[in-house]
Amino acid sequence: MEDRSDLSRLMPLLQAADRVVASTGSGISAESGVPTFRGKDGLWKTYRAEELATPMAFEHNPHLVWEWYDWRRQLMAAKEPNAGHRVLAEWAESFPSFSLITQNIDGLHAKAGSRNILELHGNIWKLRCTQEGTLTENYDVPLEEMPPLCSQCGSLLRPHVVWFGESLDMDILRQSTQLSSDCDIMFVVGTSAIVQPAASLPMAALEAGAKIVEVNPEPTPLTPHAHFSFRGKAGEILPQINDSLKQVRKIGLPR
């Protein structure tokens, strides 16, 4: 079996790539110390994430839901991007076209310097008016009022995140699918490759003929389909790939 973690085989493909997409999941943020808030680490007071991150929970007790999100915001505010986040931010200038799609809501990609990020599940630092649908950025930790209210109409604000039972923003999903279908190479970083519809994006890229590069500590359902599979943390693997790419470009191999 060929070595699918062979950097030397990946380099000429990256050197020739015009359109590169990276799709990231919770794994890259876990390296920065961001908890997943689900599973065994998901207990807050006597509640699990699945009990609080729902429209029904917010309708029943918005103060409780906001208490939880305020606590999460305070935890996330202290976290910093890692080397994996920074490489992806750098790649926006390294390729003719680079797109970043993430399932993460923590804002670490933006903190690392990435722009025009497609956030499939929203962003915890954005608040949405329940009446008007307007968005505002808010980095106050802790929040000044609980629950927060819209400064324009006085209605309740909610976290601009996708809750259990809600659909993703269809425009963001459409853009993500289109970019995946149009790319030459897709990096799938720190994701279980299980959560839909994000898990369908690499398959769309595959069907269109793109090369898939998976970066994850453990095998996933995507692993058998990936052309390259690097086992390890994004904060270690992505800098290695980036350093190799810089070396290739320094030598001046033709695109």
**What does pTM read for this prediction?**
0.93
Q: What is the pLDDT of residue 50?
A: 87
Q: What is the pLDDT of residue 2?
A: 42
Q: What is the pLDDT of residue 195?
A: 83
Give tens-digit pLDDT for 214-251: 999 999 999 999 999 999 999 999 999 999 999 988 87
Whether the pLDDT of residue 91 is over 80: the answer is yes
- Across the range 66-85, mean pLDDT stands at 97
- Across the range 61-90, mean pLDDT stands at 97
DSSP string of the chain? ---TT-HHHHHHHHHH-SEEEEEE-HHHHHTTT----SGGG-EETTEEHHHHSSHHHHHH-HHHHHHHHHHHHHHHHT----HHHHHHHHHTTTSSEEEEEE---S-HHHHHT--S-EETTEEEEEEEETTT--EEE---SS-SSSS-B-TTT-PBEEEEEPPTT-PPPHHHHHHHHHHHHH-SEEEEES--S-STTTTHHHHHHHHTT-EEEEEESS--TTGGG-SEEEES-HHHHHHHHHHHHHHHHHHT---
Q: What is the pLDDT of residue 77?
A: 96
Mean pLDDT (the chain, rounded) = 93
Instruction: Indicate which residue of 121, 160, 225, 227 is catalytic.
Output: 121
Give tens-digit pLDDT for 102-112: 999 999 999 99
Confidence of residue 43 (pLDDT cuts 50, 70, 90): confident
- Across the range 165-186, mean pLDDT stands at 97
Residue 227 annotated as catalytic:
no
| Domains of the chain, start order | 7-34+81-121+168-251 (3.40.50.1220), 39-78+127-161 (3.30.1600.10)
**What are the residues whose beta carbons fall under 8 Å from the beta carbon of 224, sequence distance 6 or more?**
none
